[in-house]
Structure 1
Amino acid sequence: MRELWHPGTEDIELARVMHALADPARLEIVARLATSEGVNCGTACSGIELHKSTMSHHYRVLREAGVTQTTLVGRARMVRLRRDDLNAKFPGLLPSVLSALNQPGDKRPSAAS
């Protein structure tokens, strides 16, 4: 398997990060990743009712925007949020997004919409 491309911290662009976070399915993935140090992509997307190729697309958008880091472990792909890189580039952005997702009474977006 070939190595996956990730932008360097200095190459992460706000517009690409915001685009990646603008989709309800990707927001759901980010919310799930926020509760762990890294998960297998199959585990993180269980319960999100989207086709496997659509989920792969969402993971690619998040990775190429610099929101996530994907490492290959055997045949599995382990995904984690790039918290340190995002905080270095855009201080407070990720905590603000995650906080907004967890507001009481605020309904989390549906990934299927």
Structure 2
Amino acid sequence: MPDDTLPMPPAAELRLAELMRALSDQNRVRIVVALADGEFHSITDDFFGLDLHKSTVSHHLKTLREAGFTETLYAGRSCQVRLRVPELNARFPGLVAALTSPSAIADVTGNVPAR
């Protein structure tokens, strides 16, 4: 089991303005979409399919965690991240569904959804 959980705001203290600020970067939206199943994922160099330096991905993950979107666990050298789907849905119903809808995904990927 993981050794450490990095600090994040409690669910009751999530603020919509901070969440929206965290989504001001398209790469962070892509990360949210990649984590949409709410399960913990091991972070590898190509997990998010982003062509970014590891330090940039770390910065994006930190921004999402500090806003309250994600939970990050460390066990030794292993890092796992999950989208806090239950907490986000309880505080802001429909937010995760809106962010992971086909039209939202098309917006960040440039793929037009089929009609």
TM-score band, normalised by shorter chain = 0.7 to 0.9
> For 2:83, which of 81, 84, 92 is the aligned residue?
81
Q: CA deviation at 1:35?
A: 4.2
- CA 1:72–1:19 in structure 2 vs 1: closer, same or farther (change >3 Å)? same
Shift of 1:25: 0.4
Q: Give the share of equivalent positions with the same residue, in percent.
A: 42
Runs of 4+ in 1 over 2 A off after TM superposition: 106-110
Q: Indicate how the Cα distance of structure 1 residues 84 and 2 shifts in structure 2: closer, same or farther if over 3 A, else same.
A: closer
Q: Distance in 2 between matches of 1:71 and 1:18?
A: 23
8 Å CA contact retained: 1:68, 1:82: yes
Matches within 5 A, 1:1-113: 3-35=5-37, 37-42=39-44, 44-45=47-48, 47-99=49-101, 100-102=103-105, 106-109=106-109
RMSD: 2.0
- Report SS of the residue matched to 1:72: strand
Where does structure 2 lack aligned partners over 5 or more consecutive residues? 111-115
For residue 58 of structure 1, what is the amino acid of its counterpart?
A: H
Q: Which amino acid aligns with 1:108?
A: V
- Contact kept, 8 Å, 1:31 with 1:101, in 2: the verdict is no
Question: TM-score normalized by structure 2?
Answer: 0.81
Maintained 8 Å contact 1:38/1:79: yes
- Unpaired stretches in structure 1, ≥5 consecutive residues: none
Q: Is the 8 A contact 2:4 2:75 kept in 1?
A: no
The 2-side partners of 1:11 and 1:36 are apart by 19
